[in-house]
Structure 1
Amino acid sequence: MLSIFDRGAFAPCPTPFNFTAHVLARADDAPDKIALAVLSQTGSERWSYGRLKSAVLGTGTGLLARGFKPGDILLMRLGNTVDFPLAYLGAIAVGLVPVPTSSMLTAPEVQKMVDQLSPAGILHDPAVACPETTLPTVSSAELTAMRDLPPADYAMGDPNRLAYIIYTSGTSGQPRAVMHAHRAIWARQMMHEGWYGLGVDDRLLHAGAFNWTFTLGTGLMDPWSVGATALIPAEGVPLDALPLLLRRHDATIFAAAPGVYRKILSHHAKLDLPKLRHGLAAGEKLSDTIRQHWAEATGGKLIFEAYGMSECSTFISAGPANPALPGTLGRPQTGRKIAIVDEEGPVECGKDGTIAVHRSDQGLMLGYYGAPEDTAARFQGDWFLTGDHAEMSEAGDITFHGRVDDMMNAGGYRVSPLEVEAALLPHPRIREIGVTDIEIKEDAAIIAAFYTSDAEIPQEELTAYADSRLARYKQPRAWVRIDAMPTNPNGKLSRKALKPLFPRR
């Protein structure tokens, strides 16, 4: 039996269609219901569905009034505030193409995006790093004023047209601009049952920032599309305060990267969360240790894990209706067509291969912006190759085996070592450099940089250099001077051989 999971396609996306119209389709059913609460330790800022829809469509009106036209690309340099989802949805509502980016990126990193995309404008919070530019810029204050403008009409159209662009670290070292269609939000419905168990009465608390794509999708768009309530911690709320917010605001579902669960457990041996049904985890592999300790601390509550990527969100998962077998990720969500393949196509069940998504998946990207060759290289016939290895049982259960490249994981963000190396190699005292992730204790890894030089370089100097060129989550946390870089027989850097060189104390 071949490793192909195919239990029928999901319902086709209707046409005409608009991403934002789908997200806010329930707003008129209960305009006074709380759609969003931004939680601090002393209170919350609440947004009703009526207020949310009005602000989104008013923002759309304001962006068009600034002269932007449907199809224009807008780079988002906004902070961890409600401005982010309002501007994102407002732009898509009127046919503009937003590009959400992390506020942690440095100006040089953002300049590369500007050079690649040639955006029509930038939505900019002055507190967020941004290169000097002559492009039209809309400030966060201007965006706030737009909320009260008359509502724009939704720009309805082909569900396959471009809706937004997100960046992911590429194996080439150059972050890739991933283009997604309006239909991507329609495809996320497969996650509601296959992962979340999400319903209209849920109150989903996501631990991430507004400007993280994991938060945008799982924490905001999905709850809103079913008429549920999204709960987001305000900027500055410490992780050890999350249990208090979960309990105080009657959260029924909690979503976070595995590292957040680990940090909460390091501060709380017991957690009293009577309304919480279960947790969700994605972004990096969830360890059995975290899963077990969470269940012990909460009195048996489960964490359901999902696997996905920027190019196709999450498509393999466990959930309340389909718990994962021990040692597995779960199964492909109903409506997906997933295979485990080698160079000749799908392999037999039980054999190792690359996880692949059929090109017919409605959640699959349109391609990489300005890089048709890179896009084509990710396909093998009709299968999009993820680059991750696994095996599939005859029942469809997926056992993850790991990546086939050197991509690193930093707190849920996938980071290319090539990108980090390219940013650090220009340091005048570094001759060669190689980076990899190092597990420093169970369930905790850091990025470490190994370099050759004529003499030891002060760590403070190296850290300051990295801070000026890389977002914090991409920066090495350890620096190791070595005599020579380990290479394979072809003279290529062997990053796996760097790991044993890390000094253990």
Structure 2
Amino acid sequence: MPMNVNSVIIYLAIVLAGYAVVSIADSFAPSEISTRLTISKAKAIFTQDSIIRGGKSIPLYSRVVDAQSPKAVVIPAKGSSFSMKLRDGDISWHDFRERVKQCKGVFPAVQMPVEACTNILFSSGTTGEPKAIPWTCATPLRAAADAWCHMDVRKGDVVAWPTNLGWMMGPWLVYASLLNGAAMALYNGSPVTSDFAKFIQDARVTMLGVIPSIVRTWKITNCTSGYDWSAIRCFGSTGEASNVDEYLWLMGRARYKPVIEYCGGTEIGGGFITGSLLQPQSLAAFSTPAMGCSLFILDNNGHPFPQDAPGMGELALYPVMFGSSSTLLNANHYDVYFKGMPVWNGKVLRRHGDFFERTSRGYYRAHGRADDTMNLGGIKVSSVEIERICNSVDENVLETAAIGVPPPEGGPEQLVIAVVFKDSDNSSLDLNQLRIIFNSALQKKLNPLFRVSSVVTLPSLPRTASNKVMRRILRQQLSQLDQKPKL
């Protein structure tokens, strides 16, 4: 479901009843929905019949049916009539609510132990199967604490963040606002329109969360012009690498209120590095570890730099963080986050997987993933998942490598596909047409939000002695071309 009033009420009702929510984004294809339902062993699914976006109706219930989901409760989209035929066993939202009306009395919240699961979320790894990450009863407190400490969310505030309950920032927004006594502003529609800008004005939003690609679209289209965002006290930004010029422009929309950069993970339940309203900020940079977190940047030998020294390398975290994961449903938690990591003061450090820099001025900058997972539009996805689809779209393709490349001017990663053809004579094929084919396959089979920016050809892919593709080498080579990807 999209993140609207109904979905938030359903989310909180499931948690208060002592059950666990399974978060699935409304953009997923049936195969991806099916994978997540199978891993989580979900008993039922709530869905809308469709989503109304840009005046068009996009089906949701049919995807759920194609995914062979368990029992479904189907909610009509706003403004649409509910006349479709449901599967045997599925029920409409109206009938579901009528059953509740037949029950008398109140429904008290069910007390659960702190380690009980409240939410199962998914984060892509490098194996092709998403990691199933349980949130416990402690995780909501972690999300709320981050918002209180770093973004000054408090009673009387109005918090808006275009997101979805399928990703961690959806549940984060629920708890970050409501547990701090703030109101949550939910907009039904696209955030890259003037209607959204008017909504922010009329709702008197005090903290507005963004991702950089949304800000870029606002700046290009100028759709926020003429609207009063003076109620905003600060912005929050997460999901992607940000751009200095675009964020200076964003600050200007709200009388130059600060942007608090915020970086974390589904398995953390919040951020591990962020900005702070108590410190001087630097655009597109982080000023401090999040409350309760300690950071370590590893040198080329895997040893932590001194914590106050500048340096660049893979980021590691102190293993004890309130609200963070301690288990995975479909993988070994120790192997994923701790195996092979260095020891510091008797504790094995926790793997995160990002490349980070600590500058001489004490700020931190993100430099992308250290492994083969990339970040596309705020969604982490493994190269393997993308390559599996691209390898099968054309019989002339021998193999592909999916690389996330930051543009020269900074900002979110662009998806570049490096292609090796079976026959060298095929190197003259229309690469733009191949890009269109890749896009169509990825959007149909993986996620409609993904887009290939450009396609490049190579005689072969660089590999290690054990025959693993060295995507990091490709990323460096493509980044050094110093040109914008073809859009």
How would you bin the TM-score normalised by the shorter chain?
Answer: 0.7 to 0.9
Shift of 1:123: 2.6
Provide the rounded CA distance (Å) in 2 between the counterparts of 1:397 and 1:144: 53
Identical residues among aligned pairs (%): 16
Deviation at 1:432, TM superposition (A): 0.7
Unaligned ranges ≥5, structure 1: 1-77
SS at match of 1:361: coil
Please, which moves more after superposition, 209-218 or 406-415? Answer: 209-218
Structure-2 separation of matches of 1:226 and 1:503: 42
CA–CA distance in structure 2, aligned partners of residues 370 and 434 of structure 1: 26
Sort the Cα spacing of 1:290 and 1:476 in 2 relative to 1 into closer, same or farther, 3 A: same
1:104 to 12, 16, 27: 27
Instruction: Summarize the alignment of residues 22-421 of structure 1 with structure 2, pairs less than 5 Å apart.
Output: 78-126=1-49, 127-128=59-60, 129-130=63-64, 131-133=66-68, 135-140=70-75, 142-143=92-93, 146=96, 149=101, 151-209=106-164, 211-218=166-173, 220-236=174-190, 238-268=192-222, 272-312=228-268, 313-325=270-282, 328-341=285-298, 346-348=304-306, 349-350=308-309, 351-372=311-332, 374-379=333-338, 380=341, 381-390=347-356, 397-421=363-387
Check conservation: 1:80, 1:209, Cα contact below 8 A: yes
SS class of match (2:264): strand
User: Residues 119 and 293 from structure 1, CA distance in 2 versus in 1: closer, same or farther, beyond 3 angstroms?
Assistant: same
1:466 aligns with 2:424: no
1:9 maps to which residue? none
Q: What SS does the corresponding residue of 2:463 show, helix, strand or coil?
A: coil
Q: Which residue of 2 aligns with 1:424?
A: 390
- 1:486 partner amino acid: L
Find 1:437's aligned residue among 404, 409, 416.
Answer: 404
Decide whether aligned partners of structure 1 residues 327 and 253 sit closer, same or farther in structure 2, where only a CA change above 3 A counts.
closer
**Contact between 2:355 and 2:369, CA under 8 Å: does it hold in 1?**
yes
Name 2:420's counterpart in structure 1: 452
Deviation per residue, 1:55-109 (Å, 9 max, x gap): xxxxxxxxxxxxxxxxxxxxxxx23433322222211111211111111110112
RMSD of the TM alignment (CA)? Answer: 3.1
Structure 1 CA distance for aligned equivalents of residues 208 and 277 of structure 2: 13
Note the C-alpha offset of 1:166.
0.6
- Cα distance, 1:87–1:366 mapped onto 2, change above 3 Å: farther
Matched, 1:485 2:452: no
Change (3 A) 1:251 1:451: same
- Which amino acid is 1:318 matched to? G
Q: Is the 8 A contact 2:123 2:133 kept in 1?
A: yes
CA distance in 2, matches of 1:155, 1:323: 44
Deviation, 1:206, is 1.7
User: Residues 243 and 93 from structure 1, CA distance in 2 versus in 1: closer, same or farther, beyond 3 angstroms?
Assistant: same
TM-score, length of structure 2 as denominator length: 0.78
Deviations 1:127-165 (A, max 9, x none): 322234263333336446555645422121211122211
Tell me, what secondary structure is at the counterpart of 1:306?
Answer: strand
Would you say the 8 A contact 1:102–1:211 is kept in 2?
Answer: yes
**Contact 2:192–2:217 (8 Å) recurs in 1:** no
Is the Cα–Cα contact under 8 Å of residues 166 and 178 in structure 1 kept in the other structure?
Answer: yes
Matches of 1:472 and 1:241 in 2, distance apart?
23
Distance verdict in 2 for CA 1:332–1:434, change over 3 Å: same
Which secondary structure does the structure 2 equivalent of 1:321 belong to? coil
Work out the number of aligned pairs and report it: 425
Asked whether the 8 Å contact 1:252–1:275 carries over to 2, the reply is yes
Q: Secondary structure at the residue paired with 1:472?
A: coil
